[in-house]
Amino acid sequence: MEVVRLGKTNIFVKKLGWGGIPIQRATEEEAIKVIKEVVDMGVDLIDTARAYTNSEERIGRALQEVKKTVVLSSKSHVRSEKIYDDVLLSLKNLQVKKINIYHLHNVSSFNDYEKVMGPGGAYQGLKRAQEEGLIDHIGITSHNLSILERAIKEEKFAVIMVCYSFLEPAAAEKIFPLAKEKNLGILAMKPFSGGVIENAGAALRYVLATPDIVAIPGSETLAKARENWEIFRSKAPLNDEDRAYIDKLRKEFDRQFCRRCDYCQPCTQQINIQLMLGIKSVVKRFGSPEEVKWIKDVVEKARNCTECGECLPRCPYQLPIPELIKKNLAWLDSLKPKGIF
Ligand code: SF4
Ligand code: SF4
């Protein structure tokens, strides 16, 4: 099975890793079963985060019951050196003495980047954790390719994590060659574009065909975990059916699909545009706005869109943002009579 070297970390792992977002939705018992099975199948890199509620704890519990060791990657949104305390929490949750890769999670603007890299910023907290042997390598994750580009050029990180799928292929040109030149490990997140791509075969065959990256799709059921593994194990290349599906979806989502880069911000009404544009998959993943308060807050705020259009020229993908917000609000409202929302 294809193995990838994660740049200067000198960590060698299979090209298919596993991401710990979806198991938050599973029951405790099902989650533990999935994680154990994933490791038994041969996955040797697991990614999680402090932000994924019970994910770290579930992974920690499951790993106690399997004999194999895996490369662990986690992350935190804390922007000050207090991130060190989050590393301690991650170690406790994962029940390990050391985490192989620890990332600054979703650095979303240059202000944010300067904060984490500046005096008293999170990077210093991770350096301390590294010096004390609590983590091996420092990574950074972002949906914004320009931030990742800068981070790679500044050579402070060993690993980057970037969105990559056939709906979001830009990293292949803008990020991968640069990261390889600087000898960084590349973790490719969101191969299904946050649940938008439903054909796992086409999605994974596309990502797995790209050299030197490790894909980290998550799965909350055994069936999905096995399906993903089988796609990887079979080594089948993209076929004509996949290509037709990719073309169809690209056309369908042309000027509809939000890449979550936040270039459109700031919104004059403080609307979380990217969340509102991706609200269908968010509701599918986390439950209805009625059940999850932060989703409800995002939706209510989106109702204040004045259609001022200030965000429009800032979106490099020319998405008709106010129109899409309206469309998604109408979709949410249409759920109401069915008792879903
Ligand atoms: S058009 Fe709507 S989303 Fe865009 S900046 Fe104005 S209020 Fe915000
Ligand atoms: S609307 Fe455009 S600029 Fe804003 S997050 Fe989505 S893709 Fe990026």
Ligand number with the minimum distance to the CA of 320: 2
Backbone angles phi, psi at 99, to 5 degrees: -110, 130
| Per-residue pLDDT, 338 | 52
Q: What percent of the chain has pLDDT over 90?
A: 84
CA of 263 to the centre of ligand 2 (A): 6
> Is it the case that residue 117 has pLDDT exceeding 80?
yes
Local confidence band at 86 (pLDDT 50, 70, 90 cut-offs)? very high
* Å from CA of 90 to ligand 1 middle: 37
**Per-residue confidence (pLDDT) for residue 146, from 0 to 100:** 94
Instruction: Answer yes or no: is pLDDT of 340 > 50.
Output: no
pLDDT of 219-268, one tens digit each? 989 999 999 999 999 999 999 999 999 999 999 998 899 988 899 999 99
Residue nearest to atom 6 of ligand 1 (CA): 308
Q: Summarize the confidence of residues 42-56 as an average pLDDT.
A: 96
Cα separation values, 203 from 80, 167, 277, Å: 36, 9, 21
- Ligand 1 centroid to 251 CA: how many Å? 25
Ligand 2 pocket, residues with Cβ under 6 angstroms:
258-264, 273-274, 277, 315, 317, 319, 321
Which pLDDT value is given to residue 258? Answer: 93
For atom 6 of ligand 2, the residue with the nearest CA is 258
Task: Band the pLDDT of 339: cuts 50, 70, 90.
Answer: very low
Number of the ligand closest to the Cα of 278? 2
Chain-centroid distance, C-alpha 185: 15
Residue nearest to atom 2 of ligand 1 (CA): 305
Q: What is the mean pLDDT of residues 76-99?
A: 98
Ligand 2: which residue has its CA nearest to atom 8?
261
The Cα 322–Cα 19 span in angstroms is 32
pLDDT at 341 over 80: no
Nearest ligand 2 atom to alpha carbon 274: 5
The closest alpha carbon to 163, from 191, 182, 197, belongs to 191
The first and second tokens of residue 339, run together, are 């008792």
Q: Are 95 and 130 in contact (CB under 8 A)?
A: no
Q: What is the pLDDT of residues 270-318, one digit of tens each?
A: 999 999 999 988 887 776 666 667 788 899 999 999 999 999 999 988 9
Residue 326 has pLDDT above 60, yes or no: yes
pTM: 0.89
CA of 315 relative to ligand 2 center, distance in Å: 5
Ligand 1 centroid distance, CA of 269 (Å): 6
Which has the closest alpha carbon to 299: 275, 319, 281, 269? 275
Spell out which residues line ligand 1, taking CB within 6 angstroms: 267-269, 271, 273, 305-311, 321-322, 325
pLDDT at 288: 65
321 CA distance to ligand 2 centroid (A)? 8
78 pLDDT more than 70:
yes
Instruction: Round the average pLDDT of the chain to a whole number and report it.
Output: 94
What CA–CA distances, in Å, run from 285 to 21, 195, 217, 278, 338? 9, 8, 14, 11, 18
Instruction: Tell me the pLDDT tens digit for each residue of 171-221.
Output: 999 999 999 999 999 999 999 998 889 999 999 999 999 999 999 999 989
Ligand nearest to the CA of 322: 1
The pLDDT of residue 287 is 67
Task: Tell me the CA–centroid distance for residue 262 and ligand 1, in Å.
Answer: 13
